[in-house]
Amino acid sequence: LDTPLEAATVGKMGTMLGSGAVVVFDEETDMVKACLRLNRFFARESCGKCTPCREGTTWLEMILQRIVDGNGRPEDLDLLLDVCDNISVGLNWPPKQTTICPLGQSATTPVASAIMRFKDEFEAYIGAPAPITVEVKGAAFVGPVNEVASVD
């Protein structure tokens, strides 16, 4: 927290300044879900003009959602990193410009760094059984109720 918010300084640490926002997580934060939420933002904000960002952020969101839903596959972590590399090669500073604007590179940083630093959390999701879903159907409508029962 004592790092100056300067592009060159944070770049040496393997990240970027972006909008200057700092997101702080506590020990209880589910990093896989946080990664999904962050990537969902980037996928929605993509203007769609360049293929790496438009397709890449959508694929990242889809794979992360599959993992969170309990349907992740062991190869999904490598797939996520491959998609990140297709959007922006590596976590180098400055990032290789493969998109029109820095949004694409901004989307890859949380995914790649979360996998590097919290791989065990991703693996726990992938190793867990998918949640059981049950379809609940409502009662059929019989007709109007003409009498109100009194409770004495």
- 147: which 2 tokens? 């009498």
Question: Percentage of residues in the chain with pLDDT exceeding 90?
Answer: 39
Secondary-structure breakdown of the chain: helix, strand, coil percentages, each rounded to the nearest 5: 50, 0, 50
Position 5 confidence tier, pLDDT thresholds 50, 70, 90: confident
pLDDT for the residue 141: 53
Strand, helix or coil at 29? coil
Class of 7-127 per CATH? Answer: mainly alpha
Residue 109 has pLDDT above 90, yes or no: no
Exposure of 2 in the CB half-sphere (CA atoms within 13 A): 0
Q: How confident is the model at residue 104 (pLDDT cuts 50, 70, 90)?
A: confident
Nearest CA among 53, 152, 141, 143 for reference residue 105: 53
Closest Cα to residue 106, out of 34, 17, 36?
A: 17
Residue type, 138: G
**33, 66, 145 from 83: Cα distances, Å:** 18, 15, 58
For the chain, which residues make up each domain, given as ranges?
Answer: 7-127
CB 36 within 8 A of CB 61: yes
pTM here is 0.73
Question: Is the per-residue pLDDT at 133 higher than 90?
Answer: no
32-81 pLDDT, tens digit each: 999 999 999 999 989 889 888 889 999 999 999 999 999 999 999 999 99
